[in-house]
């Protein structure tokens, strides 16, 4: 039987998921602040960037950057390259822009992954942290992203499930889904790394094989 307490909890949870999907208004600003300061969020973003092997001249794109923690870390590494970011939340674009105000070569755009802007020359690497689960038709989105990468360009998709009761198994299933989507979208050389947080974080890395000898 559903009690008033459980339905209240469910409503609060639905609101939280809506805000995580598209942070808006004061609640959106607060959730962005939480994303930026929660130690596990910071750790998973910094860890994800470390796995992407960003070189000083790289041109890197992050989708769904939220408050911009990974953008700052990417900018610290791509010192002579360019760091692009898109997020469909105006509130997150503002927070991330403030966090990265001093970084030259960082270009943050208010845009959705389903309507990608142009980034000019091919990209070396793409990152998305806890964002793919919100994308419409993710396999099609990943195909479009693969076309933006240079041959042998890298992608890293990260998932730390935040649903109530999430466990190691939830993370394992999320990693498998990401691998299946990347394979369907034409990526190869898949590799999964895990960060031991609670719940664990999975990062699936893959390569754009276009133009490479098979
Ligand atoms: C759960 S938050 C994660 C933020 C950040 N990557 C992190 O790990 O702290 C998801 C982010 O993806 C963004 N997002 C969700 N769907 C999107 C879409 N279709 N296009 C662009 N951004 C999207 C949201 O606005 C939000 O900032």
Distance between Cα 4 and ligand 1 center (Å):
31
Q: Which long-range contacts (CB under 8 A, 24 or more apart) does 71-76 make?
A: 71/96, 71/99, 71/100, 71/103, 71/106, 71/108, 72/99, 72/100, 72/103, 73/45, 73/46, 73/49, 74/49, 74/127, 75/100, 75/103, 75/105, 75/106
Residues counted in the chain: 214
pLDDT of amino acid 35: 94
- CA dist 164 and 120 (Å) reads 41
Pocket of ligand 1 (CB under 6 A): 20-23, 35, 41, 45, 63-66, 69, 86-89, 92, 112-114, 129-131, 134-135
Q: Are 71 and 99 in contact (CB under 8 A)?
A: yes
- The pLDDT confidence band at residue 2, using thresholds 50, 70 and 90, is low
Q: Whose CA is nearest to atom 9 of ligand 1?
A: 35
pLDDT of amino acid 124: 98
pLDDT of amino acid 12: 85
pLDDT over 60 at 1, yes or no: no
pLDDT tens column, 94-115 = 999 999 999 889 999 999 999 9
pLDDT over 70 at 189, yes or no: yes
**Mean pLDDT, range 4-10, rounded to an integer:** 79
- The pLDDT confidence band at residue 8, using thresholds 50, 70 and 90, is confident
Q: Of all atoms in ligand 1, which is nearest to the CA of residue 135?
A: 19
pLDDT tens column, 16-34 = 888 889 999 999 999 999 9
Q: Whose CA is nearest to atom 4 of ligand 1?
A: 66
Q: At what angle do helices 39-51 and 25-37 cross, to 10 degrees?
A: 70
Distance between Cα 113 and ligand 1 center (Å):
10
- The pLDDT confidence band at residue 187, using thresholds 50, 70 and 90, is very high
pLDDT over 80 at 51, yes or no: yes
**Mean pLDDT, range 145-168, rounded to an integer:** 95
Distance between Cα 22 and ligand 1 center (Å):
7
Q: Are 102 and 78 in contact (CB under 8 A)?
A: no
pLDDT of amino acid 163: 87
| Domains of the chain, each with CATH number or no CATH | 4-207 (3.40.50.150)
Q: Whose CA is nearest to atom 16 of ligand 1?
A: 134
Which of 85, 37, 51 lies closest to 65 in space, CA to CA? 85
pLDDT of amino acid 78: 97
Residues of the chain with pLDDT > 70: what percent?
Answer: 98
């Amino acid at each position: 039987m559903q009690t008033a307490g459980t339905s209240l909890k469910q409503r609060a949870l639905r609101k939280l998921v809506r805000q995580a999907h598209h942070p808006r208004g004061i609640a959106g600003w607060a959730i962005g602040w939480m994303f930026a300061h929660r130690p596990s969020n910071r750790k998973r973003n910094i860890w994800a960037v470390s796995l992407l092997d960003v070189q000083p001249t790289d041109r890197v794109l992050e989708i769904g950057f939220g408050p911009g923690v990974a953008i700052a870390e990417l900018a610290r590494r791509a010192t002579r390259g360019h760091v692009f970011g898109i997020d469909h939340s105006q509130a997150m674009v503002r927070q991330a822009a403030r966090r990265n105000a001093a970084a030259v070569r960082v270009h943050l755009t208010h845009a959705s992954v389903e309507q990608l802007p142009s980034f000019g020359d091919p990209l070396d690497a793409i990152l998305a942290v806890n964002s793919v689960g919100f994308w419409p038709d993710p396999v099609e989105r990943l195909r479009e992203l693969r076309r933006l990468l240079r041959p042998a360009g890298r992608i890293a998709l990260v998932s730390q499930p935040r649903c109530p009761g999430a466990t190691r198994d939830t993370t394992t299933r999320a990693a498998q889904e990401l691998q299946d989507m990347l394979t369907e979208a034409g990526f190869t050389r898949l590799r999964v790394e895990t960060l031991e947080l609670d719940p664990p974080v999975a990062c699936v890395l893959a390569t754009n094989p276009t133009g490479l000898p098979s």
